[in-house]
Amino acid sequence: MSGAIAGTDGVLRCPWALSTEDYVSYHDEEWGRPVHGDDALYERLSLEAFQSGLSWITILRRREGFRAAFADFKIAAVAAFTETDAERLLVDAGIIRNRAKIEATLANARVLAEWAPGELDALIWSHAPSSHPVPKTLADVPPVTDESTALSKALKKKGLRFVGPTTAYALMQACGLVDDHLADCAARGRCPRARAGSGPRPGHREGRSSNSRLPRDAMHAPPSSPSRGTPTRRTGRKPKYIQYEDFRPALPQPPAGGTPRARSPKLSTSPPLSAALERGDPHEQGGPHDAARPALRADDGNLTTGPSGPGTSAAPWR
């Protein structure tokens, strides 16, 4: 893993930010800047859940579609969604149409609607660490921390779903609880990290980053995954992996001593681009999460061996 890299403008940035213009904007203006407000944090929690098992660029480029489909992620509005709304979401091409993730997003809104205003903000920010190591390369960025594990447990205890330790840490990175911009990155330290208790007054639910119209692409920089079979630095637990099966068929081998057989056009079974985006093509990497987490996130225990298509009830990828 390398350190910060200069872009075409000569500015040093985290390597993941240079793959697309969407990432450059997100990296420079959103990622790592403090976010407060119950609705704003609910949005980020929800999009993190939808990202599980997918490339982050897939979510970023659909962010406006998600906002339109989920009433701009207003907790009270989403909590009032009916079964009709759930069925509508399952055929909405502007979002990831995964039944389990959609149902979790609606269920989380109903849980949060019962909380006191500002309670979600206070709970999340209470897990901001008092100090955090400055990463020099992507390899220095952990996939989970003690604080993200504690935050995950606290959210689950309150009844929220799809909030495993890795998802919780990605949220902490994106919303400024930690600053994981690399040491030489120009964006590091641009915005003072908000401390627990420095958020909105009690009763405040609104809130969104100042760059709310930017695509939701790189919401969270991907922490670096430890090598296979190596215990994680903080938790001591071995990470879980799901091995992707290459969807490209093996080519026929020429017979011994003979001439190679012509490739049959029927052998190609690669899915079209739309299908790859819908399921989150494992080869479409390069985002802040993707660079360091090439394997599926397995922090919620909801593991499956394949994607869930539109309108299906299969369990989500994690």
Residue 125 inside a domain? The answer is: yes
Is residue 133 assigned to a domain? yes
- Cα gap 180→88, rounded to integer Å: 38
Check whether 122 has a pLDDT greater than 90.
yes
Residue-wise pLDDT for 39-88, tens only, equals: 999 999 999 899 988 888 889 999 999 999 999 999 999 999 999 999 99
Burial of 95 (0-12, 13-18, 19+ CB in 10 A): buried
Which are the contacts of 48, defined by CB distance < 8 A and separation ≥ 6? Answer: 162, 167, 170, 171, 174, 219, 220
The answer to whether residue 88 is domain-embedded is yes
Q: Does 198 map to a domain?
A: yes
Domain of residue 181, CATH code: 1.10.340.30
Residues designated catalytic = 26, 48, 56
Residue 94 lies in a domain: yes
Whether residue 257 is contained in a domain is answered as no
Confidence of residue 318 (pLDDT cuts 50, 70, 90): very low
Q: For residue range 219-277, what is the model confidence (pLDDT) as tens digits?
A: 344 444 343 444 444 445 544 433 333 333 444 555 555 555 554 444 334 444 444 44
Asked whether residue 263 is assigned to any structural domain, the reply reads: no
Q: Give how many domains the chain has, as a whole number.
A: 1
Q: Rounded mean pLDDT of 272-296?
A: 45
Question: Which domain, by its residues, includes 95?
Answer: 5-242+273-279
pTM of the model: 0.65
228 vs 138 pLDDT, higher one? 138
Q: What is the mean pLDDT of residues 129-140?
A: 93
Say what the pLDDT of residue 261 is: 52
Q: Specify the higher pLDDT residue, 296 or 51.
A: 51
> Is 70 part of a structural domain of the chain?
yes
Range of weakest confidence among 87-96, 113-122, 130-139, 246-255: 246-255
The per-residue pLDDT for 171 is: 95
